[in-house]
């Protein structure tokens, strides 16, 4: 009887560990969220550089300066995003990038002074050590992926969201 109880306890502990591991594999971590935010920030500035290039605000130069200053952060954001895409969806990095660019482009049409706001934001972002500190300055609001881990949701001050799925 003691042996059976001990086996059930061990089995339950293993099952709990496996379930906990599976749950964490099915959610977006803090590192992945920050990488997604960086990709969004970069894409918004990239779209602005294309849309606003003939507006006389020097936007292509602002975007190039942003990339030079924050190149490491931009490059480092690729792998965590690829990891959560591989784990949580059937979307490739190319599909993700295209979808993100389309969303930002579509949303930019709704913002009255998109070019001016994006240019002003870019000036501040270039000066920041961590460009994510200026994410709220951008004319288009960031929307986090669904299925965040509990610690990730707490970082954003949101309750934990449902099953892991992407937009």
Percent of the chain with pLDDT over 70: 72
Calpha distance 50→27 (Å, rounded)? 33
Averaged pLDDT of the chain: 80
pLDDT digits (tens, 9 = 90+) for 56-86: 667 889 999 999 999 999 999 999 999 999 9
Q: What pLDDT does residue 12 have?
A: 42
CB 88 within 8 A of CB 28: yes
DSSP state of 135: G
Q: Can you give the pLDDT at residue 152?
A: 67
Q: What confidence category does residue 25 fall into, taking pLDDT thresholds of 50, 70 and 90?
A: low
């Amino acid at each position: 009887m003691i042996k059976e109880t001990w086996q059930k306890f061990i089995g339950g502990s293993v099952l709990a560990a496996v379930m906990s591991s599976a749950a964490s594999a099915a959610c977006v971590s803090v590192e992945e969220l920050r990488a997604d935010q960086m990709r969004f920030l970069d894409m918004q500035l990239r779209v602005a550089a294309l849309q606003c290039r003939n507006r006389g605000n020097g936007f292509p130069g602002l975007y190039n300066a942003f990339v030079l200053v924050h190149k490491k952060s931009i490059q480092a954001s690729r792998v965590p995003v690829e990891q959560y895409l591989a784990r949580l969806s059937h979307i490739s990095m190319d599909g993700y990038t295209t979808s993100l660019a389309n969303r930002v482009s579509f949303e930019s049409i709704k913002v009255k002074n998109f070019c001016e706001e994006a240019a002003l934001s870019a000036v501040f972002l270039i000066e920041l050590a961590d460009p994510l500190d200026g994410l709220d300055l951008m004319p288009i609001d960031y929307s986090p992926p669904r299925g965040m881990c509990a610690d990730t949701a707490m970082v954003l001050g949101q309750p934990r969201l449902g099953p892991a799925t992407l937009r």
